[in-house]
């Protein structure tokens, strides 16, 4: 902390001191203060029944007042005075060595309590470090020198797709006029989406560096203020600064801190954030982007953002930045290896193989740690042993955050995803699988399978295929490991949802007939089937039985498809474990071996009879 940051702390302590002093004085003023000689006379005259003696004062309690509200008479002791104690004892008074009212000790206590409250408040304030009274309402954006950040796309490795999309932004920033005369709608907001440490900030800086333009950066959490209006004022200032420096990049890190869906933050206390968000929306609509201002933002939780932020003219472009796969990790390691002294012949590919699930920042971190270990050995260069130990250290941190993919996780995930792919290819309902990866995405480690856009299938047999495919992951785990993981949670939820709709909404069950048993209502995320529809307990039981029978039949169908393709499943999964991604031609080659005939054996049905489709 620099002295400026400590200033508020000192003012808080000073304030507490003054408060304690004022309380002390006010308190003592209540007690009557008499001359020392008078006090002694009162003791001798027997007017008191007790005295309290402190270093500087003496208090006498008026005789008889002890039972009601005690009345105290105070006098300041003459310095060096020693008569009072013997005198009080001689007259049989109760003597105590303390003061009534607010003594110095009480004041000290008061001071401590007030300071503690003050310091707590200060710590809460410090969510926005560096704010002094003087900087109220002024944005904390720091402006990197005009020429730009000096970072290029070469510094960000393994994110080719993202970089490709961002090159257009660079072109626009270099010559904003040329872009618009061709009739293109100038870009305005770009949202970088991806887990922490995958290079989002670095990419934004690279865009500024490539375009040679200023880079204004601020973090969403900087906006979250205690005082109403301050965040909004900062947003205004930020955009004013940007306009003055156009063409330039405004980068808002942790956009989710300020951009959460309005009214979704629990009771109370969100007015400030909502005001800030509203101001951001106003500013984004307001500025003239033909001047060449690009607002970039980063988040790892796009799903919680207010939809208004993603509308056209705001953050309408999204660039996905994923955790790197094997090939990308090699490239990232190559970038960072230039900064350290590796032993000749050290194999970065091997390092990449040891670090599945590591983000770019983790890899940089591991190489840095390895350099420190090497230095501790007084070595000339970093050995593979150093690197391995460093990886373990970084991985331990990731393990605690449960972001690391252990070899066993990797294996289970690979078989699970290949199970989906093979079952999907064997059943005609879903589109072809184009890409699968076992690199964890997002916080939840949901290993999203890259299945293509799911056209919501319309026929009963399409839906059964879809459910079957959803069970492909779980079925593969059962067959191969004889055990199951929690990885199928989302699959099961989706399968159950579809089956329930088949029965209660789409009238696809023979037993229940073509009747709407659900009250379906529209939510922000599409339709949700509510169970609260009016129906008898008996009907509810039948519904559950029907849903379950659909799910169980699809599940066993998935199992039998995979048993038929066991060799392919093994081969494909092992390939995926090795490469971490599977797409393009290798993917096509594997799926071409899937026997489509299997899919024609629909599960035995007693669902509501539908006209048979042409195969």
Residues that bind ligand ADP (CB under 6 A): 156-159, 194, 196-202, 298, 332, 335, 360-361, 364
Which of Zn ion, ligand ADP, Mg ion, none lies near 306, with the C-beta cut-off 5 to 8 A by kind? none
Query: Residue 156 has what DSSP assignment?
Result: S
Query: Residue 446 has what DSSP assignment?
Result: B
Residue number, 31 or 163, with CB nearest to ligand ADP: 163
Q: Report the interhelical angle of 472-481 vs 460-470 (nearest 10°).
A: 40
CB-based contacts of 353, cutoff 8 Å, min separation 6 = 326
Name the one range near Zn ion by CB under 5 A: 339-347, 363-371, 487-495, 581-589.
Answer: 487-495
Residue number, 298 or 508, with CB nearest to ligand ADP: 298
In 3D space, the residue among 370, 366, 372 whose CA is nearest the CA of residue 395 turns out to be 366
Locate 266 and state its tokens: 């629990």
Question: Tokens 């005939």 label which residue?
Answer: 597
Considering the complex, what minimum distance in angstroms separates the CB of residue 4 from ligand ADP? 26
Which of Zn ion, Mg ion, ligand ADP, none lies near 424, with the C-beta cut-off 5 to 8 A by kind? none
CA distances in angstroms from 124 to 129, 140, 225, 271, 612, listed in the order given: 10, 18, 10, 18, 67
SS3 annotation, 55-121: CCEEEEEECCCCCCCCCEEEEECCCCCCCHHHHHHHCCCEEECCCCCCCHHHHHHHHHHHHHHHHHH
Which of Zn ion, Mg ion, ligand ADP, none lies near 542, with the C-beta cut-off 5 to 8 A by kind? none
What is the distance between the alpha carbons of residues 16 and 110, in angstroms, rounded to a whole number?
A: 8
Residue number, 398 or 421, with CB nearest to Zn ion: 421
Name the one range near Zn ion by CB under 5 A: 25-33, 457-465, 488-496, 584-592.
Answer: 488-496
Residues 163 and 154: beta-carbon distance below 8 Å = no
Name the one range near Zn ion by CB under 5 A: 70-78, 365-373, 490-498, 510-518.
Answer: 490-498
Which of Zn ion, ligand ADP, Mg ion, none lies near 491, with the C-beta cut-off 5 to 8 A by kind? Zn ion
What is the distance between the alpha carbons of residues 384 and 597, in angstroms, rounded to a whole number?
A: 51
Query: Residue 197 has what DSSP assignment?
Result: T
* Cis previous bond, 572, omega within 30: no
What is the distance between the alpha carbons of residues 157 and 325, in angstroms, rounded to a whole number?
A: 11
Considering the complex, what minimum distance in angstroms separates the CB of residue 162 from ligand ADP? 9
Residue number, 142 or 376, with CB nearest to Mg ion: 142
How is 300-331 classified by DSSP, letter by letter?
S-GGGB-GGGGSTTSS-EEEE-PPP-HHHHHH
- By annotation, the residues acting in catalysis are 417
CA 397 to chain centre: 17
Q: Report the interhelical angle of 472-481 vs 566-579 (nearest 10°).
A: 100
Name the residue whose CB lies closest to Mg ion.
Answer: 201
Considering the complex, what minimum distance in angstroms separates the CB of residue 205 from ligand ADP? 8
Which of Mg ion, Zn ion, ligand ADP, none lies near 202, with the C-beta cut-off 5 to 8 A by kind? ligand ADP
Binding to Mg ion, residues 170-229 (CB under 5 A):
201
Q: ∠ at Cα 124 (9, 195), nearest 5°?
A: 130
Name the residue whose CB lies closest to ligand ADP.
Answer: 360
Considering the complex, what minimum distance in angstroms separates the CB of residue 323 from ligand ADP? 10
CA distances in angstroms from 128 to 7, 8, 222, listed in the order given: 14, 12, 6
Considering the complex, what minimum distance in angstroms separates the CB of residue 372 from ligand ADP? 16
Residue number, 176 or 419, with CB nearest to Zn ion: 419
What is the distance between the alpha carbons of residues 297 and 198, in angstroms, rounded to a whole number?
A: 14
What is the distance between the alpha carbons of residues 269 and 347, in angstroms, rounded to a whole number?
A: 53
Binding mask 434-473 for Zn ion (x = CB under 5 A): ---------------------------------------x
Considering the complex, what minimum distance in angstroms separates the CB of residue 361 from ligand ADP? 3
Find the binder of Zn ion among 57, 491, 580, 607 (CB under 5 A). Answer: 491
Residue number, 199 or 603, with CB nearest to ligand ADP: 199
Label residue 70 exposed, middle or buried (CB < 10 Å: 0-12, 13-18, 19+): middle
Which of Zn ion, Mg ion, ligand ADP, none lies near 364, with the C-beta cut-off 5 to 8 A by kind? ligand ADP
Residue number, 259 or 419, with CB nearest to ligand ADP: 259
Name the residue whose CB lies closest to Zn ion.
Answer: 473
Residue number, 364 or 390, with CB nearest to ligand ADP: 364
Binding mask 71-110 for Mg ion (x = CB under 5 A): ----------------------------------------
Which of Zn ion, ligand ADP, Mg ion, none lies near 473, with the C-beta cut-off 5 to 8 A by kind? Zn ion
Considering the complex, what minimum distance in angstroms separates the CB of residue 211 from ligand ADP? 18
Residue number, 207 or 364, with CB nearest to ligand ADP: 364
Is 302 one of the binding residues for Zn ion (CB under 5 A)?
Answer: no
Considering the complex, what minimum distance in angstroms separates the CB of residue 210 from ligand ADP? 15
Locate 276 and state its tokens: 């800030």
Binding to Zn ion, residues 466-485 (CB under 5 A):
473
Strands 48-53 and 57-62: antiparallel
Considering the complex, what minimum distance in angstroms separates the CB of residue 416 from Zn ion? 6
Residues that bind Zn ion (CB under 5 A): 473, 491
Residues contributing to the site for Mg ion (CB under 5 A): 201
């Amino acid at each position: 902390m620099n002295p400026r940051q400590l200033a508020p702390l000192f003012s808080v302590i000073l304030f507490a001191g003054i408060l304690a002093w004022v309380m002390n004085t006010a308190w003592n003023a209540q007690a009557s203060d008499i001359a020392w000689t008078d006090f002694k006379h009162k003791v001798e005259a027997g007017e008191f029944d007790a005295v309290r003696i402190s270093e500087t004062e003496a208090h006498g309690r008026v005789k008889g007042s002890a039972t009601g509200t005690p009345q105290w008479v105070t006098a300041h002791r003459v310095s060096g005075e020693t008569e009072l104690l013997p005198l009080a004892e001689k007259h049989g008074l109760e003597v105590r060595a303390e003061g009534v009212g607010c003594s110095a000790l009480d004041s000290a206590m008061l001071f401590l309590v007030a300071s503690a409250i003050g310091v707590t408040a200060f710590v809460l304030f410090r969510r926005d470090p560096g704010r002094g009274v003087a900087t109220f309402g002024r944005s904390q954006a720091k402006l990197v020198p005009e020429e730009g950040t000096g970072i290029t796309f070469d510094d960000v490795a393994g994110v080719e797709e993202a970089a490709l999309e961002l090159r257009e932004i660079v072109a626009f920033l270099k010559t904003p006029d040329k872009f618009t005369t061709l009739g293109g709608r100038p870009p305005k907001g770009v949202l970088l989406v991806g887990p922490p440490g995958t290079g989002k900030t670095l990419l934004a800086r690279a865009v500024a560096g490539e375009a040679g333009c200023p880079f204004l950066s601020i973090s969403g959490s900087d906006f979250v203020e205690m005082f109403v209006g301050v965040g909004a004022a900062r947003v205004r200032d930020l955009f004013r600064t940007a306009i003055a420096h156009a063409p330039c990049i405004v980068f808002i890190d942790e956009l989710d801190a300020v951009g959460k869906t309005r009214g979704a933050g629990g009771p109370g206390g969100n007015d400030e954030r909502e005001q800030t968000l509203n101001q951001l929306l106003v500013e984004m609509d307001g500025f003239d982007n033909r001047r060449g201002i690009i607002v970039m933002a980063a988040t790892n939780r796009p799903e919680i953002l207010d939809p208004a932020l993603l509308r056209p003219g705001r953050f309408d472009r999204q660039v996905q930045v994923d955790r790197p796969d094997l090939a990308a990790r090699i490239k990232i390691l190559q970038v960072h290896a230039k900064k350290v002294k590796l032993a000749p012949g050290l194999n970065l590919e091997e390092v990449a193989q040891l670090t599945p699930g590591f983000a770019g920042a983790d890899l940089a971190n591991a190489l840095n740690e390895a350099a420190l270990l090497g230095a501790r050995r007084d070595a000339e260069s970093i050995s593979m042993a150093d690197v391995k130990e460093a990886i373990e250290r970084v991985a331990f941190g990731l393990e605690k955050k449960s972001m690391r993919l252990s070899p066993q996780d990797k294996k289970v995930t690979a078989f699970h995803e290949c199970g989906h792919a093979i079952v999907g290819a064997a059943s005609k309902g879903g589109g072809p699988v184009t890409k699968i990866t076992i690199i964890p995405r997002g916080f939840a480690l949901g290993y999203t399978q890259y299945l293509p856009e799911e056209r919501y299938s319309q026929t009963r047999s399409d839906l059964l295929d879809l459910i079957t495919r959803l069970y492909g992951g779980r079925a593969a785990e059962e067959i191969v490991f004889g055990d199951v993981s929690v990885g199928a949670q989302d699959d099961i939820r989706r399968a159950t949802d579809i089956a329930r709709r088949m029965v209660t909404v789409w009238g696809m069950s023979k037993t229940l007939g073509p009747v709407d048993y659900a009250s379906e209502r529209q939510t922000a995320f599409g339709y949700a089937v509510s169970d609260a529809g009016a129906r008898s307990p008996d009907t509810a039981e039948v519904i559950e039985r029907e849903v379950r029978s659909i799910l169980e039949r699809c599940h066993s169908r998935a199992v039998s498809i995979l048993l038929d393709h066991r060799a392919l499943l093994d081969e494909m999964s092992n390939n995926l474990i090795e490469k971490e991604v599977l797409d393009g031609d290798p993917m096509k080659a594997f799926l071409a071996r899937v026997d489509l005939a299997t899919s024609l054996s629909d599960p035995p049905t007693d669902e509501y009879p539908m006209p048979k489709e042409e195969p």
